[in-house]
């Protein structure tokens, strides 16, 4: 019986980026993406801490026979923080869900135009709307020193609520960087950065 060797990594990469349009990098987009990259990479450590916290809570419940409300709430908060901060990182690396059934047959410049319109009309206004409503939401929580409604719950609820501002601020920067790169692809402005092979390898790593 014949055996076939398939490199699953290459197959996944080919499928995931089959219709991707590679936009040129610019100075401004690199600065914005560098900030998003920093938060995205280091916030991934949250998932390790969250996993340890969940295991610890399970051990407390089934071995010692007790549990702490504050630790359970911390689980929910860490999950929310990890998820929300990952949104901008996902956009940065073009890892979000796309409908490429039709788009993959479009000319790259047509796709860039569609992306620019989508970012300007939908993406950035949505981020701005969330930030506008989130600020008074966080400010009020800080002003009244809001705490958990559960007995023994966490204090300073404004801390977890302020993650909304951070997450959507990063999401706004990721979208703006994508917009600048798509615009540079179409018009040549702003000018693309000339990068050596080392820079390209570090960026794609």
The pLDDT value recorded for residue 196 is: 59
In a domain, 9, yes or no: no
Domain boundaries, position 57: 23-97+104-196
The pLDDT value recorded for residue 184 is: 96
Using the 8-state DSSP alphabet, how is residue 111 labeled?
Answer: H
In a domain, 74, yes or no: yes
Tens digit of pLDDT for each residue in 66-76?
Answer: 888 999 999 99
In a domain, 11, yes or no: no
Distance, C-alpha 56 to centroid of its chain: 28
| Sequential pLDDT tens for the chain (205 residues) | 556 676 656 655 555 555 568 899 999 999 999 999 999 999 999 999 999 999 999 998 888 888 889 999 999 999 999 999 999 999 999 887 776 677 778 899 999 999 999 999 999 999 999 999 999 999 999 999 999 999 889 999 999 999 999 999 999 999 999 999 999 999 998 999 876 555 554 554 4
In a domain, 205, yes or no: no
Q: Map residue 149 onto helix, strand or coil.
A: coil
The pLDDT value recorded for residue 202 is: 52
Measure the CA–CA gap between 151 and 145, rounded to whole angstroms: 16
Q: Map residue 2 onto helix, strand or coil.
A: coil
Q: How far is CA 109 from CA 12, 118, 127, 159, 161, in A?
A: 25, 14, 25, 43, 39
What phi and psi, each to the nearest 5 degrees, are found at residue 203?
A: -70, -40
In a domain, 139, yes or no: yes
Measure the CA–CA gap between 37 and 86, rounded to whole angstroms: 10
* pTM, to two decimals: 0.83
Q: Considering only CA atoms, which of 156, 155, 163 is closest in space to residue 134?
A: 163
In a domain, 1, yes or no: no
Element spanning 172, H or E = helix 157-187
In a domain, 3, yes or no: no
Q: Map residue 17 onto helix, strand or coil.
A: coil
Count of the separate structural domains present in the chain: 1
In a domain, 12, yes or no: no
Helix axes 69-92, 157-187, angle to 10 degrees: 10
Measure the CA–CA gap between 145 and 85, rounded to whole angstroms: 24
Measure the CA–CA gap between 134 and 139, rounded to whole angstroms: 8
Measure the CA–CA gap between 195 and 46, rounded to whole angstroms: 32
The pLDDT value recorded for residue 11 is: 52
């Amino acid at each position: 019986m014949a055996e076939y060797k398939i490199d699953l990594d290459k197959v996944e990469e080919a499928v995931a980026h089959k219709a991707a349009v590679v936009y040129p990098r610019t100075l401004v987009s690199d600065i914005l993406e560098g900030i998003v990259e920093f938060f995205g990479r280091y916030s991934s450590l949250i998932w390790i801490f969250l996993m340890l916290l969940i295991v610890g809570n399970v051990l407390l419940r089934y071995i010692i026979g007790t549990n702490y409300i504050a630790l359970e709430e911390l689980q929910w908060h860490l999950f929310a923080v990890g998820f929300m901060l990952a949104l901008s990182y996902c956009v940065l690396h073009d890892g979000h869900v796309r409908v490429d059934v039709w788009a993959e047959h479009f000319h790259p410049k047509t796709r860039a135009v569609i992306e620019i319109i989508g970012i300007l009309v939908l993406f950035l206004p949505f981020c701005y709307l969330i930030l506008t409503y989130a600020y008074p939401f966080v400010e009020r929580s800080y002003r009244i020193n809001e705490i958990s409604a559960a007995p023994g719950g966490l204090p300073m609820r404004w801390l977890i609520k302020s993650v909304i501002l951070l997450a959507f601020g990063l999401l706004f920067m990721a979208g703006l960087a994508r917009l600048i790169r798509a615009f540079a692809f179409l018009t040549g402005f702003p000018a693309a950065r000339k990068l050596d092979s080392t820079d390209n390898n570090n960026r794609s790593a």
